[in-house]
Every structure is written in structure tokens, then in C-alpha cells.
């Protein structure tokens, strides 16, 4: 099965779980607390900064093959943060604990197994081009920012046709030539990325729990186990 399909099928449950967190479910119903939204995009700024800096600096050929500057969100988020927090936004925003956990994982992957950045790239950007466009409409309706303000995160001016871009992106994934162990590790990492997002959503509403932290820990152990298997497989080959 092609990697793009493997990722889609392998993350279905996590995707559904993320959409059904209280924060996202309320968001989709048009219930959006302005302060919680400010915290969300502030957290995203730290997450996307870490991801985009890691991806732009890696020499991993698979990561370089799927990188696209047209997707990058750091500058778009900076514009939104200036609107929501004011001109001193950089001195004002602070990452939450969940955000720090997410950023740490991205940096850890970049250092130890950079090809796994693909899982984080896939989880966030494909979501932004898909369901993110629905969230844009809801945010515009509920928060009603002035034209050109507060919604830059969802705008992809260099991608006029999101469907066509996503098709090309999936085709690029399918030509990476990942072996079975790498595919399994990418699926596990993508599921972990969904869980990290869920942890962040729950924390914004003050609902993060120790049980959720244990779940994150179990995913980390699973990832480590699969990477060890992958290394043994390559050494034996």
C-alpha cells in the first residue's frame, strides 16, 4: 500500500479522536472562546517555528523531498499574533506545558531520526489545508476580525488549488521509498503527533490530565521500540 494511504488509514482513529476533543468539537459547532483561541495560535507559533526550522535545516533526503515553503505558517501566525496580542506579542506569548512537550518532541526527532519529521509535517499541514479551511470560516464568523486580520494562519496565497496540491503532496509521499519499518514508525509518530495536538487542545481548556500524559508516554515507548527494530533490520540487511 502507498505511504499516503498507509498514513491515512493508520491515523483514522487518532484523527477522529482529535476532532472529538471538547475544544475542537465546540469549535466546529461555532463555540469559540477568544482567549482560548489566542492561546491556541500562540502555541501553534512555537510548534510551527520548531517544525519549520527543523525541516529547513535537515539534510534528510526524504524530508527535503516533501518540504514546501508554500505551506509554512510561522510568518502567517506572527501576523495574527500581532492582531490578537498587539505589537509586543513576542514578549507576551508563553508556550503551555503541552506546547513545550510538542516542541521538544519535534526537536528530538530532528536530532535523532529526522525522517520522522514527515509524520509531523503530514499531520499539521494536510489538516490545515483540509479541515482548517472550515475552522477559518467559523473563526471569521465568531470573532469577526477586520478584513485581512486575524485569519492569516488559514490563508495559503501560493496554493490556489488545495485539492490539487494535496494530490501532489500524496504523490510525493508515495515516491519516498520507505521500507516497512520506516512506514510503521511514521504511522506511530503521526498518531503521536495527533495525541500531542489533543493534549494541547485539552490543556487550553484546563482539562489535561495525568492519564493523558501516561498515554503520551506509552506512544513514546512504542516509537522507541519500532526504531530499535528498524535499526536491527538495517544492520542485518
Q: Work out the percent of the chain whose per-residue pLDDT is above 70.
A: 87
Q: How confident is the model at residue 219 (pLDDT cuts 50, 70, 90)?
A: low
- Counting residues of the chain whose pLDDT is more than 90, the rounded percentage is 85
Indicate which CATH number applies to the domain containing 162: 1.20.910.10
Grid cell at residue 170 = 500524496
Res 148 pLDDT > 90: yes
Burial of residue 111 (CB within 10 Å: 0-12, 13-18, 19+) is exposed
pLDDT of residue 184: 96
pLDDT for residue 38: 96
pLDDT digits (tens, 9 = 90+) for 80-92: 999 999 999 999 9
Full-model pTM: 0.89
The tally of domains found in the chain comes to 1
What is the 3-class SS of 24-37, one letter each residue? HHHHHCCCCCHHHH
State the residue range of the domain holding 64.
3-236
* Mean pLDDT for the stretch of residues 220-234: 55
Rounded Cα–Cα distance for residues 170 and 5 (Å)? 8
CA gap 69, 88 in Å, rounded: 26
Give the largest CA-CA distance in the chain. Answer: 60
Question: Do residues 123 and 115 touch, judged by C-beta distance below 8 A?
Answer: no
Amino acid at each position: 500500500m502507498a505511504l499516503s494511504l498507509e498514513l491515512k488509514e493508520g491515523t483514522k482513529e487518532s484523527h477522529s479522536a482529535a476532532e472529538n476533543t471538547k475544544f475542537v468539537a465546540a469549535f466546529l459547532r461555532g463555540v469559540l472562546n477568544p482567549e482560548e483561541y489566542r492561546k491556541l495560535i500562540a502555541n501553534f507559533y512555537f510548534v510551527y517555528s520548531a517544525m519549520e526550522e527543523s525541516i529547513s535545516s535537515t539534510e534528510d533526503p526524504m524530508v527535503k523531498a516533501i518540504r514546501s515553503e508554500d505551506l509554512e505558517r510561522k510568518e502567517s501566525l506572527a501576523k495574527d499574533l500581532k492582531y490578537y496580542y498587539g505589537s509586543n506579542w513576542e514578549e507576551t506569548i508563553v508556550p503551555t506545558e503541552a506546547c513545550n512537550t510538542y516542541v521538544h518532541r519535534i526537536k528530538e526527532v530532528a536530532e535523532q531520526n529526522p525522517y520522522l519529521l514527515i509524520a509531523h509535517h503530514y499531520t499539521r499541514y494536510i489538516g490545515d489545508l483540509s479541515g482548517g479551511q472550515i475552522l477559518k470560516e467559523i473563526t471569521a464568523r465568531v470573532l469577526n476580525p477586520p478584513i485581512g486580520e486575524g485569519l492569516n494562519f488559514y490563508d495559503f496565497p501560493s496554493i490556489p488549488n488545495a485539492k490539487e496540491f494535496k494530490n501532489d503532496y500524496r504523490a510525493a509521499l508515495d515516491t519516498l521509498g520507505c521500507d516497512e519499518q520506516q512506514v510503521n514508525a511514521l504511522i506511530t509518530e503521526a498518531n503521536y503527533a495527533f495525541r500531542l495536538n489533543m493534549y494541547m487542545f485539552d490543556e487550553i481548556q484546563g482539562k489535561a490530565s495525568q492519564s493523558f500524559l501516561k498515554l503520551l508516554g506509552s506512544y513514546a515507548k512504542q516509537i522507541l521500540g519500532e526504531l530499535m527494530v528498524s535499526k536491527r533490520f538495517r544492520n542485518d540487511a
